[in-house]
A and B are shown apart, each in its own frame.
Chain A
């Protein structure tokens, strides 16, 4: 079968085709009445739906609390988007790494740093709890086998985030470039296996089973073409990610993110967890929120250019965190923004992120190409230059490194958003939960027998409070709490 002739023979032999789509007898949908379940295939104390960071942490803690645990993974391999992430966890208040490196931090300082960002809708109680316990949490991850360096180094193991960079709080496992998320998940999954969590890959949850009292009592599963029912004695934990790969849901719930051209997540981020939770009466919060990224700092001198909106005005420091710029463009500028560069801030040759829209020898001409209001861009540049000569940006506080007068053709305009830019985005909205991960209904009451964590729940990260490592912090920390809660739910 190896040479090209062999391949051709195979091709010729392929008559009859094996491509027929698998017609499924079981489709995701509304909850099933407990009384209508024909037969149960399995019984378990806690069923965790989704094998990313939140689900695996939930499974480990539920096992530790004495429950029998099945972990369903719809994909052929567990790990989810966590396994392809940067693996960074935001933690502080004196973590083992901070202490080893002489970084002084307290839970209060950490809380103030995040809460002080002034982001609307920040879940402050959740934030407070995490700040108080994040150092202990990180130590727990280390005892589980997550490969944190024995002799950590600033800038490699412990990174300064964009939020209060003087106090580094972004913790990264040891791994080759790009594989830190994978190493984190490998460690967590190995621990789950050792603890006898039963991992079933290629099996998805299609419907929740709910009894007459409204309690979740099981799950209808699908494995290939085979449907089945798992009876759950204590609780189901929904932890199957957000919904960025379900384009209809994105359009429906998070229309601003629909315009971001680059869905950022693995194929499993289909919003099933959110919909299953809603099907049992769970409320969904902050569904329009998401993370979107415009990373000018990866483009050489680009941050010394000017980012302007449809009114020809600046609206954020060009050297801000990629997520902060993404948020400002997506949610505050209706997705419309352009980077204007001069000779010294021109984007690197061959960059693949942002298409060039126009080039001109004067700012007025460039403005005309973009169709900006007459004179507006010129006024923005003039105002910027007035202070930039002194290295100051009184409007947005851009750092001195990137603040200098904007002058010298060619002037160019680049699309940093819209359908042709590299514009990664994922969702942050999800099910309402209490601090223990119990799913809450529209009146704030727990849905009995149902927990949620990770991006399936509306957690710590909110659109405006972006900092590196908050998603994995939320997934691992509140995933653990959801697992403990699920294991202690009274049997139904």
Chain B
């Protein structure tokens, strides 16, 4: 129950009303996916994306969008809060989360510094949307 409460708090933090869908959509429309590819380089310390992506220290990000948070059964290292959650990753949610992952959900096992610049963040997500799409 505590975890659920904590996760509720996470949601409150991740999705404040001040982050408007418009802002994310506008930034995604302007996004430079090649810049996003470069920014994703730092994520490759723990994550893979693309056709043959595997779980590493972090879970594979292939087809991440639309997937329920913390739901890849063969990845062993989610934080309990992510396992308990059952809503899906959207670009907007990820945009909010990646601003400062540790500040927004300190229990996460993802020890990344986050990306404070909003357009950089949108560039990264635009790249991730493309790279993770994958053909089934």
Judge if A225 is at the interface, Cβ distance under 8 Å: no
| CA gap between A83 and B110 in the complex, in Å | 11
Q: Cβ of A419 and Cβ of B38 under 8 Å apart?
A: yes
A84 & B45 in contact (Cβ 8 Å cutoff): yes
| A2 partner residues in chain B, CB cutoff 8 A | 86-87
Q: With A and B bound together, what is the CA distance between A27 and B7 in angstroms?
A: 29
Q: Is A115 close to B, CB under 8 A?
A: no
B41 contacts which of A76, A83, A181, A261 (Cβ < 8 Å)? Answer: A261
Segment touching B, from A8-16, A281-289, A302-310? A8-16
Set B4, B8, B15, B57: member contacting A83, Cβ < 8 A: B57
B45, A264: Cβ atoms under 8 Å?
yes
> Closest CB of chain B to A346's CB: distance in Å?
19
B residues within 8 A CB of A66? none
> CB-CB < 8 A to B41: which residues of A?
261-262, 422-424
CA distance A245 to B45 in the complex (A): 13
- One digit per residue, 1 when the CB lies within 8 angstroms of any chain A CB and 0 when it does not, for chain B 36-63 equals 0110111011100011001111000000
Among residues of B, the one whose C-beta sits closest to the C-beta of A180 is B57
Most interface-central of B12, B103, B108, B131 (chain A CB within 10 A): B12
Given that A1-B8, A14-B15 are contacting pairs, would A178 and B38 also be in contact in the complex, using a CB cutoff of 8 Å? no
Assess whether A76 is in contact with B11, with CB atoms less than 8 Å apart.
no
1/0 contact string of A1-43 vs chain B (CB within 8 Å): 1111001001111110111011000000000000000000000
| Interfacial chain A residues near B38, Cβ < 8 Å | 261-262, 419-422
- Is A266 located at the chain interface by the 8 A CB criterion? yes
Main secondary structure of the interface of B (DSSP, over half): loop
Within 8 A of B (CB), among A455-470: none
Asked if B133 is an interface residue, CB under 8 A from chain A, the answer is no
CA of A355 to CA of B36 in the docked complex: distance in angstroms? 13
CA of A423 to CA of B42, assembled, Å: 9
Q: Total number of A-B contacts with CB less than 8 angstroms? A: 106
Are B18 and A266 touching (Cβ within 8 A)?
Answer: no
Neighbour of B106 across the interface among A7, A76, A424, CB < 8 A: A76
Q: Please, which residues of chain B bring their CB within 8 A of the CB of A21? A: 103
Across-interface contacts of B77 in A (CB, < 8 A): 182
What residues on B are CB-neighbors of A22 within 8 Å?
A: 103
A491 close to B (CB within 8 Å)? no
Report whether B56 and A10 are in contact in the complex, using a CB–CB cutoff of 8 Å. Answer: no
B15 touches A178 (CB 8 A): no
Report B47-88 CB contacts with A as 1/0, cut-off 8 Å: 000110011110000000000000000000100000000110
When distances are taken between beta carbons in the complex, the residues of chain A under 8 Å from B86 are 2
Alpha-carbon distance between A105 and B38 when the two chains are bound, in angstroms: 42
Q: Which residues of B contact A12 (CB under 8 A)?
A: 17
Tell yes or no: A369 within 8 A of B by CB.
Answer: no
Closest to A4 in B: B87
Chain A residues with Cβ below 8 Å from B9 are 18
| Size class of the B contact interface (CB-based, 8 Å) | 35 or more
- Supposing A2-B86, A245-B113 touch, asked if A10 and B11 sit within 8 A by C-beta, the answer is yes
Query: Chain A: which residue is nearest B104 at the CB level?
Result: A19
Contact B54 A177, beta carbon cutoff 8 Å: yes
- Please, which residue of chain A has its CB at the minimum distance from the CB of B13? A18
A267 within 8 A of B: yes
**Contact B45–A17 (Cβ < 8 Å):** no
- Whether A179 pairs with B57 at a CB distance below 8 angstroms is yes
A419-441 residues at the B interface, CB under 8 angstroms: 419-424
* Interchain nearest-CB distance for B72 vs A (Å): 14
The answer to whether B112 has its CB under 8 Å from any CB of chain A is: yes
Q: Does B34 contact A (CB under 8 A)?
A: yes
**Most chain-B Cβ atoms within 10 A of its Cβ — which of A75, A79, A267?**
A267
For residue A400, which residues in chain B have a CB less than 8 angstroms away from its CB? none
Report the minimum CB–CB distance from B123 to chain A (whole Å).
Answer: 12
Complex Cα gap A75–B110 (Å): 10
| 3 closest A-B pairs by CB | A178-B56, A262-B41, A267-B113
Known contacts A2-B87, A423-B41, then 8 further A-B pairs from the complex at CB < 8 Å, ordered by chain A residue: A1-B87, A11-B17, A18-B9, A19-B13, A84-B111, A266-B111, A352-B50, A419-B38
Q: List 19 A-B contacts (CB under 8 A).
A: A3-B87, A7-B11, A7-B15, A10-B12, A11-B17, A12-B17, A14-B11, A14-B17, A19-B16, A75-B111, A76-B108, A76-B109, A84-B45, A263-B42, A266-B45, A268-B111, A352-B40, A420-B38, A424-B41
